[in-house]
């Protein structure tokens, strides 16, 4: 696929309507939007394995799930994920659980005859110091940022596995690298949440309590890129429909912002007027993150549609609607 000519794509419904789809992690944050988008795209048979019924770290549960779901397509979203604090507290869990889920599931899916396997990667797989914007060819240029390296490397092995299975068996595995996601239904638990829901909750609670300040980790200098969760779900489905190649591809918005500017923006949108104090004894994480998203547009015509400020407004509105009493 050269991507130089203007492509025309078949209607989504013709791809999905007769395929059985299994979405691991379908009950989670991103997964819930993928399920909704699948229905919109015409999928009729969607199987979501719940952790109470299938522990995807266990081989026998994976095999039982495949026999129950009999999928044509697997969208593997299930992961143990979290912010810097969670990654520092449980590095072994982040490595083992993510590696064992993905590696065994892909192998058993190939054995079972599943036609297509989408293995969702992570931006944490990139080296700590990657030239900006991140290009997929830089994935192997260095070691990931230390605080999330166990998670990033466990997920990165699915790229290696997918390319190996494609080379040896002709197995159709595709590997997206989504940037940090946010939106309604996100995890707002301050012990395990990512930066945007944590900032929203801290600002809302501080405003409601009348606090004069909030304390945030690091010095505010790192930059990040964020993708609204509905855009991410759409991107994953378009990739599944339209892309069949071995190369990994970034999914992002193309908009870089510093954590300091993000905090100021969320403070303004939530109405918090106090001081933001930076605790520089805490880690910053990776210095900069911004993606080259040209492959996704070239390979399957995806471009993010929701701006950061609009996405934040929607996320804050959802949070207020769900937690009016305690912020």
Task: Please give the order of strands across the beta sheet that includes 45-47.
Answer: 45-47, 20-24, 73-76, 116-119, 172-174
Half-sphere exposure of 199 (CA within 13 A, CB side): 26
User: Which of 16-20, 73-77, 88-92, 287-291 shows the lowest per-residue confidence on average (mean pLDDT)?
Assistant: 287-291
For 23, the token pair is: 């979405």
pLDDT 10s digits, 26-79? 999 999 999 999 999 999 999 999 999 999 999 999 999 999 999 999 999 999
Query: Residues near 41 by Cβ (< 8 Å), separated by ≥ 6?
Result: 12, 13, 15, 16, 237, 241
pTM (two decimals): 0.92
What gap in Å lies between CA 270 and CA 320, rounded to an integer? Answer: 10
pLDDT digits (tens, 9 = 90+) for 214-269: 999 999 999 999 999 999 999 999 999 999 999 999 999 999 999 999 999 999 99
Architecture of domain 13-183+227-254+287-305: 3-Layer(aba) Sandwich (3.40)
In this structure, the number of other CB atoms found within 10 A of the CB of residue 7 comes to 12
Q: How many residues does the chain have?
A: 327
- For the stretch 122-156, pLDDT in tens is 999 999 989 999 999 999 999 999 999 999 999 99
Provide the token pair at 90.
């449980």
Q: Which of the pair, 83 or 299, is modelled with greater confidence?
A: 299
- Sequence-distant (6+) residues with CB within 8 A of 79 are 25, 98, 101, 120, 122, 155
User: How many CA atoms lie less than 13 Å away from 172 in the CB half-sphere?
Assistant: 14
pLDDT of 1 over the 50 cut: no
Select which of 54, 126, 151, 228 is catalytic.
151
pLDDT for 326 beyond 50: no
151 is an active site residue: yes
Share of residues in the chain with pLDDT > 70 (%) = 97
What are the pLDDT digits (tens) for 182-226?
A: 999 999 998 878 899 999 999 999 999 999 999 999 999 999 999
- How many angstroms separate the Cα of 271 from the Cα of each of 107, 268, 319? 50, 5, 14
Confidence of residue 5 (pLDDT cuts 50, 70, 90): low
As given in the structure block, the two tokens for residue 144 are: 């990931």
């Amino acid at each position: 696929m050269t991507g130089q000519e203007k492509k025309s794509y078949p209607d989504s419904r013709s791809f999905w309507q007769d395929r059985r789809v299994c979405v691991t992690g379908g009950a989670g944050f991103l997964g819930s939007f993928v399920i909704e988008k699948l229905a919109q795209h015409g999928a009729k048979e969607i199987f979501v394995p719940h952790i109470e019924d299938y522990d995807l770290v266990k081989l026998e549960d994976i095999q039982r799930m495949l026999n129950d779901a009999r999928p044509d397509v697997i969208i593997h979203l299930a992961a143990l994920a979290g912010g810097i604090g969670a990654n520092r507290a449980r590095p072994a869990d982040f490595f083992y659980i993510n590696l064992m889920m993905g590696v065994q599931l892909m192998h058993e899916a190939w054995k079972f005859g599943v036609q297509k396997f989408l293995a969702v990667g992570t931006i944490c797989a990139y080296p700590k110091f990657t030239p900006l914007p991140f290009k997929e060819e830089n994935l192997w240029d260095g070691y990931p940022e230390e605080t999330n390296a166990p998670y990033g490397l466990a997920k990165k092995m699915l790229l290696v596995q997918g390319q190996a299975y494609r080379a040896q068996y002709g197995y159709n595995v595709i590997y997206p690298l989504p940037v940090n996601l946010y939106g309604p239904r996100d995890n707002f638990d301050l012990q395990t949440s990512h930066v945007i829901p944590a900032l929203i909750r801290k600002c809302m609670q501080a405003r409601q309590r009348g606090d004069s300040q909030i304390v945030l980790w690091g010095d505010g200098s790192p930059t990040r890129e964020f993708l609204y969760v509905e855009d991410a779900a759409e991107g994953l489905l378009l990739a599944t429909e339209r892309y069949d190649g071995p190369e990994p591809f970034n999914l992002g918005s193309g908009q870089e912002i510093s954590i300091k500017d993000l905090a100021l923006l969320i403070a303004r949108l939530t109405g918090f007027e106090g001081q933001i104090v930076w605790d520089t004894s805490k880690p910053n994480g990776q210095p900069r993150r911004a993606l080259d998203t040209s492959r996704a547009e070239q390979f399957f015509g995806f471009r993010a549609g929701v701006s950061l400020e609009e996405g934040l407004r929607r996320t804050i509105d959802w949070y207020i609607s769900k937690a009016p009493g305690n912020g």
